[in-house]
Amino acid sequence: MAMNKNEGGSAYSPNPDVKSGPCLIAGFQPLTVVHPFYWNAYKTESGATFSIDMVRLKLSFINGKGEWLSTHAQTFDCDSMSAWTSKIRPGGWYELWSFDLGDSSVALGIGFMEPSCKVNMNRGFIEFNPNKVAGDKRFWRLLEKLAPCISHARLKRFDLAYDLPTSRLDCRLSKDRRMYKSVISNGITEYLGIKNTPGYVKVYDKAAEMHLSGVLTRIELTCDGEWNAGQVVAHWPQVHAWHSDESTRDWVRVVGIMLAEKAERGEEVETLINMLGWRSRPKVREYLRTPMVELPADCAAAAVAEARSWCARFE
């Protein structure tokens, strides 16, 4: 069993249900006028597409190279750049650089502030979104300039983006004890957990965000760089997806979601369902039986390998 390798990626060996796709996923062509861009994305037989949407690497600089970068970073080719020097704060970064490339940017940190308040110029980080910058030749030139300065790179965290050819109105995120937030902007967006920490979840309308003509829902999970495939699967959120059509009434969807959430909390809902008309009951009950969106272990393994492959760029 094998997974095809996309250009610039690594070879994996999960199963034939998951295959590498081109950067612009052809499978979405019937659905959209404007196609989302993916870097080294993989497509499942179910029609879902997954990719790495954000990468943060911890960098160890060769002795003296942190200082060299501090004085030469302004020579990097980009649209514009910004730089900040922070006050001494343990756990922070002495210098923060941002290099704008098109509608995205690459962040570079130089000089970690130790608990003793000493600035360690041999430590740094880089953060970028491959789906937004990997198609820009200037990004690769930036990495080429960084590579000779780096003795070691380790994956700190990454975002796994899982796109479903499903309407956002047909997806529901299950809540747990973590902080939950819902925002109505470019469709419905649900959040679970704390941003930039492992386990953080975001479910949103990707089609609305990118002004696509079709339907596309994105499930985004922030993963710890040390997680293996099993740990990624264990942290995968409970997102329920069902199928509705133009004949599905809004009130049926709303009542069905509300009752499904009550049932999930262990509350009794059968009495409320029986208060509905006999034609409505089976439609509402469908929302109590909707399956969860599963992340197969081979998909998780491919995502972990893809995220870690960015460390190899500096070896």
Question: 27 lies in a domain?
Answer: no
Domains in the chain: how many in total? Answer: 2
Q: What is the pLDDT of residues 271-314, one digit of tens each?
A: 998 898 888 888 888 888 888 899 989 999 999 999 999 999 98
The per-residue pLDDT for 260 is 83
The per-residue pLDDT for 4 is 37
Question: 20 lies in a domain?
Answer: no
Question: 35 lies in a domain?
Answer: no
Q: Which of 16-30, 35-49, 184-198 has the lowest mean pLDDT?
A: 16-30
Instruction: Summarize the confidence of residues 16-34 as an average pLDDT.
Output: 40
126 & 191 share domain: yes
Question: 234 lies in a domain?
Answer: yes
Q: What is the pLDDT of residues 119-148, one digit of tens each?
A: 999 999 999 999 999 999 999 999 999 999
Q: Are 187 and 202 in contact (CB under 8 A)?
A: no
155 & 108 share domain: yes
184-195 exposure pattern, b = at least 16 Cβ within 10 A, e = fewer: eeebbbbbbbee
89 & 213 share domain: yes
The per-residue pLDDT for 53 is 93
The SS3 assignment for 98 reads strand
The per-residue pLDDT for 290 is 84
Q: Cα separation of 14 and 4, whole Å?
A: 10
Instruction: Summarize the confidence of residues 105-120 as an average pLDDT.
Output: 94
Q: Are 210 and 36 in contact (CB under 8 A)?
A: yes
Q: Cα separation of 284 and 259, whole Å?
A: 8
Q: What is the value of pTM for the model shown?
A: 0.83
136 & 282 share domain: no
Nearest to 216 by CA among 32, 85, 81, 40: 32
The per-residue pLDDT for 10 is 40
234 & 294 share domain: yes
154 & 282 share domain: no
Q: What is the pLDDT of residues 229-262, one digit of tens each?
A: 999 999 999 999 887 777 778 888 888 888 888 8
The per-residue pLDDT for 212 is 86
Domain span at residue 105? Answer: 42-243+290-310
Q: Is a pLDDT exceeding 70 seen at residue 17? A: no
The per-residue pLDDT for 24 is 39
Question: 6 lies in a domain?
Answer: no
119 & 228 share domain: yes
130 & 233 share domain: yes
Q: Is a pLDDT exceeding 60 seen at residue 29? A: no
228 & 252 share domain: no
Question: 96 lies in a domain?
Answer: yes
Question: 25 lies in a domain?
Answer: no
Which residue has better confidence, 301 or 263?
A: 301
Q: Cα separation of 59 and 299, whole Å?
A: 27
The per-residue pLDDT for 257 is 84
173 & 257 share domain: no
105 & 203 share domain: yes
280 & 296 share domain: no
Q: Which of 161-165, 196-200, 258-262 has the lowest mean pLDDT?
A: 258-262
Question: 129 lies in a domain?
Answer: yes
